[in-house]
């Protein structure tokens, strides 16, 4: 939603622009000068939500937004929680896109304005952007994603020993393992790239032990092949620190996950592997990139039919040679 927020700030430079996000996700918006205030609510992971904490967060949020007398409020997530928050904000105009999920019954009473933009085959950025611009009645086009990380560059360079513009950043893991490519293939890609390009390699992951094990496996294979030991983050970065690390790289390689979107937000050329995800909705936005895709019955039926414990056939189809070729094209450019 950062292109939408940037446009709002340019259009209404003196406006109060507040955002509500899940706790733990606010890092991508910290230091964003376009935002006046960030409110947080319950974490995305159900296992980390404590009832008392949720009640406290909701009471704090309700009291905070209820006093601000907003002119406009927009639900960009189309969730019941967001609908309630918008109603409690008492904004004069409360808007939502209703093309995919018709807003009927009591839910329709919570809103005053609607966007009917049919975003099905378009990027999620456009869905959010058009929800706001349609309701405001101001046609416009969205710009790139935004993430402010420059203040953290000295810290991450010192912490991980990286050299400016001299390394490749790989993020091979996801919270959902069915989005991942085999680590042996990533190791082969890196070995082929390092034969031609003099680069350090940084491999990042979240703090989950399974994700760390995947990055260690890639590092071990690479080291046994005679290449320098890659730098591993082992999940020891905040989202903004990860953004600073990716933003200082010459190129980003990875799968469909938050790190890929961060790469777009810090404007790092990206090679992205997509399996059963909707690449038309989630591809890197307005940044030089190459998409690697395989055929997928799940996309055709809009139903996940593959074994989630295995690498899906669509990812298996993606060859090492194609990934190397895409990466070399971006590096040479």
Structure tokens at 23: 């706790």
Residue 8 has pLDDT above 70, yes or no: yes
Cβ neighbors of 50 (< 8 A, separation 6 or more) are none
Confidence class for position 50, pLDDT limits 50, 70, 90: confident
How far is it, in rounded angstroms, from Cα 115 to Cα 132? Answer: 8
96 and 167 together in one domain? no
- Same domain assignment for residues 161 and 299: yes
The residue segments making up the domain with residue 211 are: 151-332
Q: Which two tokens stand for residue 120?
A: 């099905």
| 143 occurs within a structural domain | no
- CATH of residue 165: 3.40.50.2000
The answer to whether residue 115 is domain-embedded is yes
User: Helix 51-66 and helix 80-89: axis angle, to 10°?
Assistant: 40
Q: At what angle do helices 239-247 and 153-160 cross, to 10 degrees?
A: 80
- The whole-chain average pLDDT of the chain stands at 91
Domain boundary among 77, 106, 136: 136
Q: Do residues 115 and 176 share a domain? A: no
- 174 plus 61 within the same structural domain: no
Residue 141 resides in a domain: no
Which residue, chain included where needed, has tokens 């937004």?
A: 65
Asked whether residue 128 falls in the same domain as residue 159, the answer is: no
Q: Under a CB-based contact definition with an 8 Å cutoff, are residues 289 and 271 in contact?
A: yes
Find the helix packing angle between 183-196 and 320-332, rounded to 10°. 40
Residues 167 and 99 in one domain: no
* Whether pLDDT at 6 is above 70: yes
Among 85, 107, 136, the domain-final residue is 136
Residues 130 and 158 reside in one and the same domain = no
Range scoring the smallest mean pLDDT among 61-65, 76-80, 102-106: 61-65
pLDDT of residue 288: 97
Do 79 and 58 meet the contact criterion of CB atoms below 8 Å apart?
no
CA 213/CA 83 separation, integer angstroms? 40
Question: What pLDDT is recorded for position 320?
Answer: 97
pLDDT at position 99 over 90: yes
Name the more confident of 63 and 163. 163
Q: What is the pLDDT of residue 45?
A: 61
pLDDT at 122: 93
Asked whether residue 262 is domain-assigned, the answer is: yes
Does 252 reside within a domain?
yes
Same domain, 279 and 327: yes
Q: Is 238 helix (H, G, I), strand (E, B) or coil?
A: coil
Q: What is the pLDDT of residue 275?
A: 86
% of the chain with per-residue pLDDT over 90: 70
36 to 19, 43, 62, 79: CA distances (angstroms): 8, 22, 17, 23
User: Is residue 142 domain-resident?
Assistant: no
CA torsion 69-73-78-79 (nearest 10°) is: -10
Mean local confidence (pLDDT), 73-86: 90
307 belongs to a structural domain? yes
How many other C-beta atoms lie within 10 A of the C-beta of residue 141? 9
Segment 266-270 shows an average pLDDT of 97
**46 pLDDT exceeds 70?**
no
**Number of structural domains the chain divides into:** 2
pTM (2 decimals)?
A: 0.91
Task: Give pLDDT tens digits for 101-123.
Answer: 888 888 899 999 999 999 988 99
For 153-193, what is each residue's pLDDT tens digit? Answer: 999 999 999 988 799 999 999 988 889 999 999 999 999 99
144 domain-assigned: no
Half-sphere exposure of 305 (CA within 13 A, CB side): 10
158 shares a domain with 15: no
Whether residues 94 and 171 share a domain: the answer is no
Indicate whether 167 and 284 sit together in one domain: yes
Residue where a domain terminates, one of 110, 136, 162? 136
Same domain flag for 92 and 34: yes
């Amino acid at each position: 939603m950062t292109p939408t927020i940037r446009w709002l700030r340019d259009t209404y430079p003196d406006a109060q622009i507040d955002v509500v996000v899940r706790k733990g996700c606010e890092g991508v918006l910290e230091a964003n000068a376009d935002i006046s205030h960030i409110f947080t609510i319950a974490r995305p992971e159900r296992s980390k939500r404590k009832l008392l904490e949720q009640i406290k967060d909701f009471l704090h949020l309700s009291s905070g937004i209820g006093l601000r007398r907003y002119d406009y409020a927009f639900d960009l997530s189309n969730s019941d929680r967001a609908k309630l928050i918008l109603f409690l904000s008492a904004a004069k105009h409360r808007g939502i896109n209703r093309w995919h999920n018709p807003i009927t019954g009591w839910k329709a009473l919570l809103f005053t304005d609607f966007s009917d933009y049919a975003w099905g085959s378009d990027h999620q950025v456009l869905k959010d952007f058009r929800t706001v611009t349609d309701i405001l009645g101001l046609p416009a086009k969205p710009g790139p994603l935004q993430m402010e990380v420059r203040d953290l560059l000295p810290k991450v360079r010192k912490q991980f020993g990286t050299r400016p513009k001299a390394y490749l950043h790989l993020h091979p893991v996801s919270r959902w393992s069915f989005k991942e490519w085999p680590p042996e293939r990533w190791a082969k890609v890196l070995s082929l790239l390092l034969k031609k390009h003099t680069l350090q390699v940084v491999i990042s992951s979240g703090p989950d032990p399974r994700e760390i094990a995947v990055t260690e496996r890639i590092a071990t294979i690479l080291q046994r092949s005679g290449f320098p030991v890659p730098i591993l983050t082992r999940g020891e970065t905040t989202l903004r620190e990860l953004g600073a690390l990716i933003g200082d790289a010459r190129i980003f390689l990875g799968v469909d996950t938050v790190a890929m979107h961060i790469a777009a937000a810090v404007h790092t050329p990206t090679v992205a592997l997509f399996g059963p995800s909707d690449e038309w909705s989630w591809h890197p936005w307005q940044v030089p990139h190459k998409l690697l895709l395989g055929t997928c019955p799940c996309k055709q039926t809009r139903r996940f039919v593959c074994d989630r414990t295995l690498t899906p056939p669509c990812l298996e189809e993606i060859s090492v040679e194609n990934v190397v070729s895409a990466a070399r094209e971006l590096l040479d450019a």
